[in-house]
Amino acid sequence: MRWTLKPKPDEETVARIEQDLGVDKLVAKLLVQRGITSFEGAKSFFRPQLSDLHDPFLMTDMGLAIERIEKSIEREENILIYGDYDVDGTTAVALVSSYLLQIYPNVATYIPDRYLEGYGVSKKGIDYAGDNDIALIIALDCGVKAMAQVAYAKEKGIDFIICDHHRPGKELPDAIAVLDPKREDCNYPYDELCGCGIGFKLIQAIQQKQGRDFMELVPYLDLVATAIGADIVPVTGENRILAFYGLQVIRTNPRVGFRAIIMEAKKPVLTITDVVFIIAPRINAAGRMKHGINAVNLLIEKDAGTAEFMAAEIEAFNAERRGLDQLITDEALMMIADNKEEEGFTSVVYKDSWHKGVIGIVASRLTETYYRPTLVFTKSGNKLAASARSVKGFDVYNALEHCAEHIEQFGGHKYAAGLTLKEEQYAGFKTQFEKVVANSINPELLVPEVQVDIEINLQEVTPRLLRIIKQFGPFGPGNMRPIFLSEDLSDSGSARTVGKDGKHLKLDVKQFGSKIFPAIGFNLGSKLTMVKSKKYFSAVFSLDENQWNGKSQLQLKLRDIK
């Protein structure tokens, strides 16, 4: 790992924050590093306010979207809420459909089949709308590049409202409204909303236009917080406010479907990390193993008994997904190991029998192992489909744009994308992708980086410091949990490996003049010999709370040791 120490914050600003807030210098430094340089800024950071959310009508085309929805209601037209099959898409469909059904009955939902239709707006979905006398489709978490599909719908007399957060192409579809803060002509103040977040802005606009109380929308924020965590968007600005209040809803009064998932998983959900590892995989499993509409149905279900039955079914999908994920990851790792002569700046693997529903997870696992831009391909109908994942600092979407001649269709973000191509295009694509990455990536990016906030002595680590840091949450991109560096550490003699195959390192660390702190290093089992050598070492770590047998203890969560 590369250890990169963040620039030291301005001392004058630190002193002012320290004085204004009455906090320790260490806390003041952490706040200034996060761009918090005033009492008001600190107040907004520690106590996010729903009143600080932006006016939804600042988003280009929002007025047109609301006008068209009102027209549908007035004419008693059928409306179809259409969304992608991942967590962001299914939560968005659940949010917008359940909100509209409170005020208007003629609302249906549609999630494309991952295997028969693929990502985004499909011709089959539009045919379904045509067959069911749908006059308006509201597309969520997809559609910003669906030029041909929107034109096809128009021929059938079906209008589109697109709510997307992906990067648009040079032209926009001919829809009634395209709500996407990443549009070049959109001056909305925050452009990092997820698809469900944009769905929330849509219902906020309807609520506002009708003169209804904003607080009626708070129960929907559990869906938005889940999408923010699952889609790995920055937890800054509006996303931080939405995640903060959404987590409160999940902790105190979650919707029936979430309560059933949490009961089935037998784990409490307290943080965004819990959302990412407990709720999100189960919602995703429905679309991966069976059909995304199962997730939507669970998320809008009001009867506890029915929700418990649905959650148990989804738990079974998730268990099946985990088994497949492990099997395919092992096969892909073996494939890469067997092709050492091909080793370059990328990992591109393909097997026609791999389950399309888990190739994204497998791509993430391979990226964690080899730390380079990665694509995992499988057969999808008469074409090949792939999931792409990248390393921090490298834009894989941009790299795919430079391989467009070898691709049928692609979409996504800087760090995650999906694509399809013809089988005969695979070899050319693989060669071109390697060439593009080799010519554009900084080799330094192929070494995992841990960004260190501040170097500290262990004497500065206290339960009070941990309590304050917990208030920095919700954590995520743009507001990561603080990472500290301490030097001249030693093991008190308890160092040992734990977990399957001794993958993890457990020890008690001390420093001159400090008390002993328990520490855990996940996937650092290989460092045991170094720690036991009686030599001093440095470590980068975050502060954590270890809950065991009803007791809570402060511990260091080690990221790396040198």
On whether both 112 and 261 belong to a single domain, the answer is yes
Q: Is residue 125 part of a domain?
A: yes
Beta bridge partners of 420: 385, 409
Helix (H) or strand (E) holding 347: strand 347-350
CA atoms within 13 Å, Cβ hemisphere of 92: 34
On whether both 226 and 129 belong to a single domain, the answer is yes
Q: Is residue 12 part of a domain?
A: no
Q: Is residue 49 part of a domain?
A: no
Q: Is residue 20 part of a domain?
A: no
Structure tokens at 81: 């809420």
On whether both 412 and 424 belong to a single domain, the answer is yes
On whether both 150 and 77 belong to a single domain, the answer is yes
On whether both 248 and 346 belong to a single domain, the answer is no
**Domain boundary residue, one of 313, 331, 347:** 313
Per-residue model confidence (pLDDT) at position 552 = 82
On whether both 146 and 281 belong to a single domain, the answer is yes
CATH of residue 512's domain is: 2.40.50.460
Per-residue model confidence (pLDDT) at position 258 = 95
Taking residue 444's Cβ as centre, other Cβ atoms within 10 Å add up to: 10
Separation CA 194–CA 181 (nearest Å): 10
What's the domain range around 376? 339-446
Q: Which amino acid is at 157?
A: G
> CA nearest 376: which of 326, 367, 368?
367
On whether both 537 and 496 belong to a single domain, the answer is yes
Q: Is residue 21 part of a domain?
A: no
Separation CA 408–CA 406 (nearest Å): 7
Helix (H), strand (E) counts: the chain? 20, 19
Separation CA 483–CA 470 (nearest Å): 13
**Domain boundary residue, one of 446, 465, 481:** 446
Q: Is residue 228 part of a domain?
A: yes
CATH of residue 346's domain is: 3.10.310.30
Separation CA 419–CA 317 (nearest Å): 25
Taking residue 287's Cβ as centre, other Cβ atoms within 10 Å add up to: 25
Separation CA 490–CA 474 (nearest Å): 32
Q: Is residue 343 part of a domain?
A: yes
On whether both 266 and 133 belong to a single domain, the answer is yes
On whether both 270 and 409 belong to a single domain, the answer is no
Please measure the distance between the N-terminal and C-terminal CA atoms of the chain and give it in whole angstroms. 10
Q: In total, how many domains does the chain have?
A: 3
On whether both 135 and 275 belong to a single domain, the answer is yes
The alpha-helical segments, DSSP class H, found in 253-384 are: 256-265, 272-274, 280-285, 293-300, 304-338, 359-370
Q: Is the pTM of this model over 0.75?
A: yes
CA atoms within 13 Å, Cβ hemisphere of 352: 6
* Four-CA torsion 86, 89, 94, 98, nearest 10 degrees: -170
Separation CA 389–CA 418 (nearest Å): 9
Would you list the DSSP string of 164-220? --SPP-SS----SEEE-TTSTT---S-----HHHHHHHHHHHHHHHTT--GGGGGGG
Q: Is residue 329 part of a domain?
A: no
On whether both 309 and 438 belong to a single domain, the answer is no
**Domain boundary residue, one of 297, 313, 329:** 313
Separation CA 294–CA 537 (nearest Å): 51
Q: Please report, in tens digits, the pLDDT of each residue of the chain (562 residues total).
A: 999 999 999 999 999 999 999 999 999 999 999 999 999 999 999 999 999 999 999 999 999 999 999 999 999 999 999 999 889 999 999 999 999 999 999 999 999 988 788 778 999 999 999 999 999 999 999 999 999 999 999 999 999 999 999 989 889 999 999 999 999 999 999 999 999 999 999 999 999 999 999 999 999 999 999 999 998 899 999 999 999 999 999 999 999 999 999 999 998 888 999 999 899 999 988 887 788 899 999 999 999 999 999 999 999 988 988 899 999 999 999 999 887 655 789 999 999 999 988 999 999 999 999 999 999 999 988 899 999 999 999 999 999 999 999 999 888 788 888 999 999 999 999 999 999 999 999 999 999 999 999 999 999 999 999 999 999 999 998 999 999 999 999 998 889 999 988 999 999 999 987 789 999 999 999 999 999 888 899 999 999 988 777 788 899 999 999 9
Three state DSSP letters for 425-489 = HHHHHHHHHHHHHHHHCCHHHHCCEEEECEECCHHHCCHHHHHHHHCCCCCECCECCCCEEEEEE
On whether both 299 and 404 belong to a single domain, the answer is no
Apex CA 449: angle with CA 444 and CA 453, to 5°? Answer: 130
Separation CA 358–CA 284 (nearest Å): 10
Taking residue 191's Cβ as centre, other Cβ atoms within 10 Å add up to: 16
CATH of residue 227's domain is: 3.90.1640.30
Structure tokens at 22: 């009455």
